[in-house]
Every structure is written in C-alpha cells, then in structure tokens.
Chain A
Amino acid sequence: MADMRTPLSRARGLGSAKKGTEHFWMQRVTALANIPLMMFLVGALVVHAGSDYTTMTGFLGNPFVGVLMLLLIFSACYHMRLGLQVVIEDYIHGEATKLLALIANQFFTLTIAVACALAVAKLVIG
C-alpha cells in the first residue's frame, strides 16, 4: 500500500537514525543531573580524605547518601554509554568491528552500573 504520509511527516521527530532526538535529549538530561551529583561525590571525597574504613562505610551506608550515589551511578553510566557510542560511531568504520564495539560499550557501562549499585545497596542495607 502506498504511504500517504508526506516526506516531511515521516522525517519529523525522527531523523535519519529513526531514533528521534532521544539520544541528544538523554545526553543533556543526564549531563544536567551529573553536575550536582558529581559535585556531591567530589565534596564527599574531599571531606573524607584520609578517613578510615569504618567512617567511610558508615557514610556510604547512610540511606540519603545511598540515594544520591545510585542516582549518580545511573546518570553517569547512561551518559557515558551515549558519549562513547558517538565516539565509536565516529571513529570505527568497519561494520562488524563497530557493532562489536557498540555491544562492548553496552556491556561495560551496564556492568559498572550494576557493580556500583550492588555495592551501594549492600553498604546501605548491610
């Protein structure tokens, strides 16, 4: 059946990758979230420079700290997955190598996110 949609309506909101502006948008949203969350982490690490195991785990075990850490982990990992995806697409031109690199990117970022999140969960819940 002939497609009755105009070329403009087909293209609108999607773009050549058929994924719309989601990549751009999520990169910005996570970038915005990363600013205060990273400032929190940097501040926390400065204040805890030289603090021992008990003090540090006590701090990380605080549920409020745990919430911020989980948000940071997910926002940062999402952001870096999008970022490296673009780097891979820009520099790796072989189709198979590119696909493998993109998959490795997904695996790495998800592994980091799950590892960090599990560690934080254990520190908070015990």
Chain B
Amino acid sequence: MSEQSKPARPLSPHIQIYRWTLTMMLSILHRATGVALYAGTALMAWWLLAAATGPDAYALVQDVSSAWYGRLVLFGYTWALFHHMFGGIRHFIWDTGRGFDLKHVEILARVTAFVPPVLTLGVWVAAYVYLGVYNG
C-alpha cells in the first residue's frame, strides 16, 4: 500500500498492546502447533518410505530417532499433537454453541493448556517402558 492511500485513521492496537491472557496464548499456540505438525509430516513420510525401502534406510531413521535430538523433536511433536487435538476438541464444543461464557472459556482453556503436557509425559513413560521390554 502506498503512503498516500494509507488512511489517516488510527489503527486498532495489535497484540503487543494487550495484557497476555491464557486464551490468547492458546489461540496462537493452536496455529503454531498446526504449522509444526504440518512440517513434521515430512518426518512421517521419511519414516514410512524408509520402512518400505529396506533395512539400511530404516537404520538411519532409527539412528536419528533414538538420538537425543531426534527424541527431543519427537517429544515436541507428541506435545504439539495433543495440544492441537485438545484445541480442536475445544473448537468442537464451541461449534455446538456451548462454552462461550467466561467461566467455561477459562475452564476449557485450562484443560487445553494443562492436560496435553500430562498426556505427552504419559505417552513417553509408556514408550520407555516398552523400550525397556524390547531391550531387556
């Protein structure tokens, strides 16, 4: 937009003006996790293609996914998945017209923020238990 065509009206304040709230952070995180999950499907494609290609290709996937950085990415991916899923379920509730009053908005926000990390840890504890079963 050229300088001349810019309206002289004041613009509405952007996010940095407002006090941060949990609901606002969750809205941003829902998008961010969505984009991260999007990019991460390339890793899923790599995993499946490697499995279909053969043992050597698959060994590389195993090396990377069992390294600390690979585990870190997968851990983050697990959390992003649960976070996005709970955000989506929250949207389903809103789709029915329910949960818009402030009290329920805050309750839903807390569930969406705090349940996914717990589930993520649960999944990883379970995964390490199975890892122990295989190795032991």
Contacts and interface: CB of A to CB of B under 8 A. Distances in A.
B55 A53 contact: yes
A31 B88 CA distance: 7
Given A87-B35, A112-B42, A116-B45, A123 B81 contact: no
A14 interface: no
Interface in B75-96: 78, 81, 85, 88-89, 91-92, 95
A53 B130 contact: no
Contacts of A53: 51, 55, 58-59, 62
Nearest to A111: B45
B: interface residue count bin = 20 to 34
A119 interface: yes
Interface residues of A, number: 33
- Secondary structure at the B interface, as helix, strand, loop or mixed, is helix
B92 to A, nearest CB: 7
Contact of A49 (B45, B48, B130): B130
A80 B92 CA distance: 17
A69 B22 CA distance: 35
B123 interface: yes
- Secondary structure at the A interface, as helix, strand, loop or mixed, is helix
Contacts of B95: 28
Contacts of A45: 127
Contact of B134 (A35, A50, A112, A118): A50
A54 B67 CA distance: 21
Interface of A: 28, 31-32, 34-35, 38, 42, 45-51, 53, 56-57, 60, 69, 76-77, 80, 83-84, 87, 112, 115-116, 118-120, 122-123
5 closest residue pairs by CB, A with B: A119-B48, A50-B134, A119-B52, A50-B131, A49-B127
27 contacts: A31-B88, A31-B92, A32-B92, A34-B85, A35-B88, A35-B89, A45-B127, A46-B126, A46-B127, A47-B130, A49-B127, A50-B134, A53-B59, A53-B62, A60-B48, A69-B48, A76-B41, A80-B37, A80-B38, A80-B41, A83-B35, A84-B38, A112-B45, A116-B44, A118-B49, A119-B45, A119-B49
